[in-house]
Amino acid sequence: MSYKILLVSSAFYPEISPRSFRATELAKEFHRQGHEVTVITRSRSFNYDSFLNDYTFKLKFWSENKLPLIPNFSNSFLHVFSRVLMRLLLMLFEYPAIEEMFKVKNALKKESGYDILISFAVPFPVHWGVAWSRKRKHQIAPVWIADCGDPYMGNRLDSFKKLFYFGYIEKWFCKKANFITIPVESAKPAYYKQFHHKIKIIPQGFNFNLNQLQLPFTKNDIPEFAYAGGFLVGIRDPRLLLNYLSEIEKPFRFYVYTNQLNILQEYIPVLKDKLIVSNFIERDELMKKLSKMDFLVNFDNNTQLNVPSKLIDYAITGRPVLNVGKDLIKDDVIDFLNGYYDKRMKLPNPEQYHISRVSLKFLELVKEKF
């Protein structure tokens, strides 16, 4: 059966982020399956002509955000002032992402006749905009799936809790959504119990070929390992490992792919050519590089409410993973550097993350609704 599907997401190709991968991979897979797909996303300075030659679904945009970003000053006093101001605006108003609630509402005014509507967060104002737009006489689609990569009110990774009144907004959109999808069962307690019956577990999905990525591995002459992703100081923090690596005389190469280069700056002159730092790269290129590493590194969130999607990529490559928690186990680091992986992180079967399987889980919710 063919469906008419509307996807609403702030993040989309070519952005490199878990939410962008989520929306983009689903759009491409639904299109491959023969469904009529429309994607509404924020306007960005990118030419989609080549992309749409391969995937001929409809792509619509809401206008660029106009709320000004708070500048980051070099002056120490102004720098502190700007950081405090940014935090206050975020805490009080979900600024600047709050603007997307209005953008989404306006973008959906004339949209109707779909079978399925799937919206993606973060940012959560995307869900709020859908909830505001969706009324009894303007359903847009009979089934609305609100997909959440991380919790909102129940998020434990942010250093500041959301203010109480955002709880009313979360309950409002959860009440209006038919289903709430989250990537892991362990995150369910981070959502209000009154909506647990609406929650469905659908993991992140990618299009991959294990036969191409999990080729016979050739050990590197010098131990090579890598980490790909962001950091959270005090939680998903690389400094414990980097401090210890700075003491080790054994040769190695640690590749880090991140958009938070500032956290690593002090270690570059210390580790020199042992630490190779790069900004984010295209996922296909990254996967090829990760599959050639002796092992991979995960900095643990130290909570089951937020599970990093990078672990899916790690599982797909088939390489052993060193999990670094809040208490660094130095013996484990040495074992990995010496090629002993008995303490490797246990990862699930990657086949469950193939986009062909993940997309069907979304479509099964339509049958469940009716």
Are 49 and 98 in a shared domain?
yes
Element (H, E) at 143: strand 143-148
Give me the domain span that covers residue 164.
Answer: 4-207+354-369
Residue 370 has pLDDT above 80, yes or no: no
CB 189 within 8 Å of CB 305:
yes
Q: Are residues 176 and 301 in the same domain?
A: no
Q: Report pLDDT for 192.
A: 92
Q: pLDDT at residue 65 above 80?
A: no
* Section 182-208 average pLDDT: 90
Task: Give buried/exposed letters for 207-228 (b at 16+ CB in 10 A, else e).
Answer: ebeeeebeeeeeeeeebbbbbb
Comparison of pLDDT for 233 and 302, the residue scoring more: 233
The share of the chain scoring above pLDDT 90, in percent, equals: 51
Q: What are the pLDDT digits (tens) for 94-120? A: 888 899 999 999 999 999 999 999 999
Q: What is the CATH number of the domain that holds 164?
A: 3.40.50.2000
Determine which helix (DSSP H) or strand (DSSP E) holds 315, and give its type and residue range.
helix 310-317
Could you tell me if 84 and 166 lie in one domain?
yes
- CA–CA separation, 27 and 299 (whole Å): 30
Tokens matching residue 219 = 């050990």
Least confident of 52-61, 79-88, 236-245: 79-88
Q: Are residues 185 and 268 in the same domain?
A: no
262 and 184 assigned to the same domain: no
Do 181 and 220 lie in one domain? The reply is: no
Please, which pLDDT band fits residue 66 given cuts at 50, 70 and 90? confident
Q: How confident is the model at residue 32 (pLDDT cuts 50, 70, 90)?
A: very high
Torsion, CA 154, CA 158, CA 161, CA 166, rounded to 10: -60
State whether 196 and 266 are in the same domain.
Answer: no
What pLDDT, on a 0 to 100 scale, did the predictor assign at position 318?
A: 87
What is the spatial distance between Cα 321 and Cα 356, in angstroms, rounded to a whole number? Answer: 26
Over residues 251-255, mean pLDDT: 95
Please report, as a single letter, which amino acid is at residue 288.
Answer: K
Please state the rounded mean pLDDT for residues 208-232: 82
> How far apart (Å, rounded) are the C-alpha atoms in residues 146 and 121?
8
Residues 138 and 266 in one domain: no
Lowest mean pLDDT: which of 110-114, 209-213, 276-280, 290-294? 209-213
Same domain, 153 and 297: no
- In the prediction, which pLDDT does 122 show? 86
Q: How many residues does the chain have?
A: 370
- Tell me, yes or no, whether 127 and 221 share the same domain: no
Looking at residue 344, the DSSP 8-state letter turns out to be P
Say whether both 57 and 176 belong to one domain: yes
My answer on whether 93 and 215 are in the same domain is no
Give the total number of structural domains in the chain: 2
- pLDDT band for 306, please (50, 70, 90 cuts): low
